[in-house]
Amino acid sequence: MEATCNCRKRTANSPFTQNEVDVIVKRQNDKKSLGKDALTANVIKQFYDVALYVLLGLLNACLSVECFLKVFKHFVVKAIPKPGAENKTSPKAWRPVSLLPVMG
C-alpha cells in the first residue's frame, strides 16, 4: 500500500476493515470509463454510506473463502488511438486499454 494510506499492513486473509474500504472507495476515480458492469465510481460513492456493511461483508466473505466473484474480474478491452498516430489503419497506431469493473 502507498505511504499516504492510513491502513494497517495486511496479513494473509486478515479481514478488511471499514477504514481500508473507506480509503479505497474515496480514492476511486470518478472519471474512469465504465467496465462491463456499467457502474461508475460515482455510483459506488453515492450508495456507499447505505451499503457500507453489505460491501464490507461481501469483501470479507470473498476473502474468507479465498474466492472473489468472477464478475469482479471480467473486463472489456477497448482500442484507443495513440496521439499523433498518422496511419489509423496500422495496429501500431492503437493501444489496448482494459476496463475493469469498479469493484474489480
In a domain, 8, yes or no: no
pLDDT tens readout for residues 8-31: 555 666 899 999 999 988 898 888
In a domain, 7, yes or no: no
In a domain, 22, yes or no: yes
- Domain extent for 66: 18-99
In a domain, 86, yes or no: yes
pLDDT tens readout for residues 49-61: 898 899 899 889 9
In a domain, 48, yes or no: yes
DSSP string, 73-91: T--EEEEEEPTT-S-TTSG
Structural domains in the chain (count): 1
In a domain, 9, yes or no: no
Give phi and psi for 99, each to the nearest 5: -105, 110
pTM for the whole thing? 0.65
Q: What is the pLDDT of residue 79?
A: 92
pLDDT tens readout for residues 63-86: 888 888 888 888 889 999 999 888
In a domain, 46, yes or no: yes
